[in-house]
């Protein structure tokens, strides 16, 4: 999973290559008519950007698994581990970076995948009804963390490169969701949230919460 990674995510290479070829060909025949195609190419380029991030130094920090806006912070039921938990949700729109990063250091104990619907990922019901892929990560100090990738209204592909037994490092890229989505993080109730509703966060650098 620690693949060589330039600032354009590998998930976007085929899309960008096709867009460049089509736009260049259109320019050759008619420069004016190629303008919309170049705009689409620029959109694809910005969507699949994947800049490096600076990890925070706090060892007890849980970092954001995705870029976006906080749409939920509070107590909720973790249906995967059957427990009450602190839930923090990050909504990604089409202009956010869509690489997903591990929020903690740990080992993946289990992975779940559920086919589902494609409601707006900013809605609470998306957590239970949309297509989703979840990881149960046991941290190096024994904390249980559930990290759930959720497809959105126009997202149609969740990519997850981790499976049971995978070792994840905090900030490591482990997945990608195409075209608008959400990531939910479930933490023990004694974790302390460090973000608020509406706050913008960056994957791999913003601290979502701290373990006690």
Instruction: Identify the weakest region by mean pLDDT among 19-33, 90-104, 128-142, 147-161.
Output: 147-161
Q: Does 42 share its domain with 128?
A: no
Total domains in the fold of the chain? 2
Answer yes or no: is 184 within a domain.
yes
Q: List all residues 6 or more positions away from 7 whose beta carbon is below 8 Å from its beta carbon.
A: 49, 50, 51, 52
Q: Does 107 share its domain with 166?
A: yes
Q: Does 40 share its domain with 111?
A: no
User: In DSSP terms, which residues pair with 145 in a beta bridge?
Assistant: 137
- Segment 36-46 shows an average pLDDT of 89
Answer yes or no: is 5 within a domain.
no
Q: Does 39 share its domain with 127?
A: no
Exposed / middle / buried, residue 132 (Cβ in 10 Å: 0-12, 13-18, 19+): buried
Q: Does 106 share its domain with 197?
A: yes
Answer yes or no: is 124 within a domain.
yes
Active site residue 205: no
Q: What pLDDT score does 8 carry?
A: 81
> Of the candidates 78, 197, 210, 198, which has an alpha carbon nearest to the alpha carbon of residue 134?
78
Average pLDDT over the chain, rounded to an integer:
88
Q: For the domain that residue 194 is a member of, what is the CATH number?
A: 2.70.70.10
Answer yes or no: is 1 within a domain.
no
Q: Does 112 share its domain with 150?
A: yes
Note down the domain range covering 184: 61-210
pTM: 0.85
Answer yes or no: is 107 within a domain.
yes
Q: Does 43 share its domain with 65?
A: no
Q: What pLDDT score does 202 carry?
A: 96
Which residue out of 89, 181, 202, 205 is catalytically annotated?
181
Q: Does 97 share its domain with 171?
A: yes
Q: What pLDDT score does 4 carry?
A: 52
Q: Does 169 share its domain with 205?
A: yes
Q: Does 116 share its domain with 38?
A: no
Tokens of 190: 């004694």
- Residues 113-166 have pLDDT tens digits of 988 665 555 556 656 667 889 999 999 899 999 999 998 665 557 889 999 999
Q: Does 86 share its domain with 43?
A: no
Split at pLDDT 50, 70, 90, the class of 43 is: confident
Split at pLDDT 50, 70, 90, the class of 200 is: very high
- What secondary structure does DSSP assign to 22-53, as a single string? HHHHHHHH-TTTTHHHHHHHHHHHHHTB----
Answer yes or no: is 3 within a domain.
no
Q: Does 120 share its domain with 185?
A: yes
Q: What pLDDT score does 94 carry?
A: 82
Rounded CA gap, 141 and 49, in Å?
33
Answer yes or no: is 204 within a domain.
yes
Answer yes or no: is 90 within a domain.
yes
């Amino acid at each position: 999973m620690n693949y060589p990674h330039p600032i354009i995510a590998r998930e976007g290479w085929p899309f960008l290559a096709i867009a460049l070829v089509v736009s260049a060909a259109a320019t050759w025949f008619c420069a004016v008519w190629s303008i919309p195609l170049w705009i689409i190419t620029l959109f694809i380029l910005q969507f699949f950007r994947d800049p490096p991030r600076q990890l925070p130094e706090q060892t007890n920090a849980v970092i954001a698994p995705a870029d976006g806006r906080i749409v939920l912070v509070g107590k909720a039921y973790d249906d995967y581990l059957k427990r009450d938990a602190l839930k923090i949700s990050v909504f990604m729109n089409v202009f956010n970076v869509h690489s997903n990063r591990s929020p903690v250091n740990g080992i993946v104990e289990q992975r779940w995948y559920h086919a589902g619907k494609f409601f707006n990922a900013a809605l609470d019901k998306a957590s239970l009804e949309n297509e989703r892929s979840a990881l149960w990560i046991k941290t190096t100090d024994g904390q249980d963390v559930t990290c759930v990738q959720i497809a959105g209204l126009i997202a149609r592909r969740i990519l997850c490169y981790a499976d049971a037994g995978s070792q994840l490092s905090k900030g490591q890229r482990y997945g990608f969701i195409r075209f608008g989505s959400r990531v939910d993080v479930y933490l023990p109730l004694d974790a302390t949230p460090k973000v608020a509703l509406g706050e913008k966060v960056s994957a791999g650098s913003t601290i979502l919460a701290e373990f006690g």
